Chain A
Amino acid sequence: MVAQIPQLRCYAHSLTREPERAQDLVQDCLQRAFEKLHLWKQGTNMRAWLFTIMHNIHANAAKRFNTGPQFVSMEQTEHLNNHEPVLDHKDDALIMQDLEAALRLLSSEHREIIYLVCIEELKYNQVASILDLPLGTVMSRLYRAREQLRQHLYGDSKNNVRRLL
C-alpha cells in the first residue's frame, strides 16, 4: 500500500490540480484504505483498489462541496476558441504550459479518465470498474476529453471534427 503512494499522489493531482487538496486526498485515501484493508482481496490489483477508494472520496467531496465540474468563464472559452495552436512553437516549455492550461479546463471527471487511460494505461473495463461507470460512458468521456485537449493544443477546423459515435 505504501509503495503505491507516488501513483496515488499523481492520481490525486489529476483529480484536483491543486497540491494542497491533492495531499489531503492522498491522506484521506490512505486512512480509508487502512480501515478497509480487510476488504481488499489478496492477489487482486492493489493500485486499482486504491484508485477506486480515492475516486469515491473525491466524488463524494465534490458532491458535498459542489466543487465538481467547474464552470469556465467566457473569457477562458474565448481563449480556448481563438487559441493559437502551440505546436508551431516547438518549444517544450510552452507546449507543457499549454497542456497544463488545457487540462485545467477539463472537468475532473474527464481528467481522471485521461489519467487512468493515458498515464496508467489501464484497460477500458478496469477504468469502468474503478469509476463504477458503464463502459460506454467511459468511452464517450475519453473521446470528449481527448478531443478537447487535442483541439486546444493543435487547433482544429470544424470540418475536421469527426462526429462522435
Chain B
Amino acid sequence: MSNTSKPVAESDLHAYLDRQISPQRQRLVEEYLQNNPREAQRLDQLRSLNNLLKQQHQEHLQKHKHEASAIIIERPPLRNPKSYLLVASVMFLFCGSLSGWFAHEFFISSSSQFAQYSITKQAAVAHAAFVPEVRHPVEVHANKEAHLFKWLSKRLHTDVTAPNLAEFGYALIGGRLLPNNQLPAAQFMYENKNGQRLTLYIRNNVQENAQTAFRFEKQDSLSMFYWINGALGYAVSAELPKQQLLNIAHVVYQQIDGE
C-alpha cells in the first residue's frame, strides 16, 4: 500500500500528536479528524495530557531543586548550611562548563603526554561527580580506615594512605576506587565543619619514572594542584583560593611523598 492509501491508524494519531508524521500522512489525519469528532476529542485529551505531563515535569524539576537543598540543610555535620548551599550552587554552575571541557579533552588520546596532564580532567570530573553526592559520597567510609587503605593499596599496587588534614579543619569522610584509562585510581574525600569538601585523587602513572613540579589549574571556582611523582599522580581539588589550597597541597605532598 502506498503512503497515502493506508487508512489512518492509531500509530498515525500518535505520530501526529508527537509531530513525527510525514506531511502526506498529516493531511490524511487532519481529514480523518474532521470526519470523526470523537477521535478529534480524544486527540485533544491526549494533547492536554501531554501538556500536563510537561507541566508536572517542570514542577518536579523545581521541587527537586528545593528538595536537594533541603537534604543538604538537614545533614547533621553541617553547622553553616549557607556556605554549603553556596558551594552546591557554584558546583552546579561549574558542572555545566566542566562537561564541555571534559568532553573535549577526555577522549582525545591516551598518549603518554595526555596521560600526564589528563589527571586534572579525570580528577575534576571525579570531584564534580561525587562531591555533591549526599548519600553516597564515598564507597568506603573513614570509620573503616584500615580496610580502606588496604583495599586501595591492593588495587593501585602501591601503598596508599590518606593524609591527615586536621590542621586545616578537614576530616576524611572516606574513599572510593575509580576507573582510569588503563589503571585504577582512588579518590579520598574530606569535609570541613562547614560542609565544604576537598578531594585527593591518586592515580597510577603510565610512565613510571615521570616527575613534575606542583602545577596549578583553575576551572571556574574549582582550584586544583597536581603533581606526578614516580608511579603515582596526585591532584588536590577544592573550591578554595589558590594560596590556601597550595598550603594544603604541600602538606599532602610532605605526608605522602616527603621522606
Contact = CB atoms under 8 A, between A and B. Distances in A.
Interface of A: 1-6, 9-10, 13, 19, 23-24, 27, 30, 34-35, 37-38, 40, 42, 46, 95-96, 99-100, 114, 117-119, 121, 123-124, 139, 142-143, 146, 149-150, 153-154, 160, 162, 164-165
B95 A3 contact: yes
B144 interface: no
Nearest to A1: B99
A34 B56 contact: no
A122 B8 CA distance: 22
The 5 closest A-B pairs by CB, nearest first: A3-B99, A2-B95, A165-B9, A35-B179, A165-B10
Contact of B53 (A3, A4, A6, A99): A99
Contact of B14 (A30, A46, A146): A146
Contact of B18 (A30, A42, A117, A149): A117
B194 to A, nearest CB: 23
A119 B20 contact: no
Contacts, number: 101
A135 to B, nearest CB: 9
Contacts of A5: 95
Interface stretch (B128-136, B153-161, B163-171, B228-236): B128-136
B42 A42 contact: no
A96 B11 contact: no
A10 B179 contact: no
A4 B98 CA distance: 12
Given A19-B67, A117-B18, A119-B53, 4 more contacts: A2-B96, A10-B60, A24-B135, A121-B18
A118 B178 contact: no
B129 A34 contact: yes
A119 B54 contact: yes
B178 A34 contact: yes
Contacts of B107: 37-38, 40, 42
B147 interface: no
A164 B11 CA distance: 9
B45 interface: yes
12 contacts: A2-B128, A3-B98, A13-B64, A23-B135, A27-B135, A27-B136, A99-B52, A118-B53, A118-B54, A146-B49, A150-B45, A153-B52
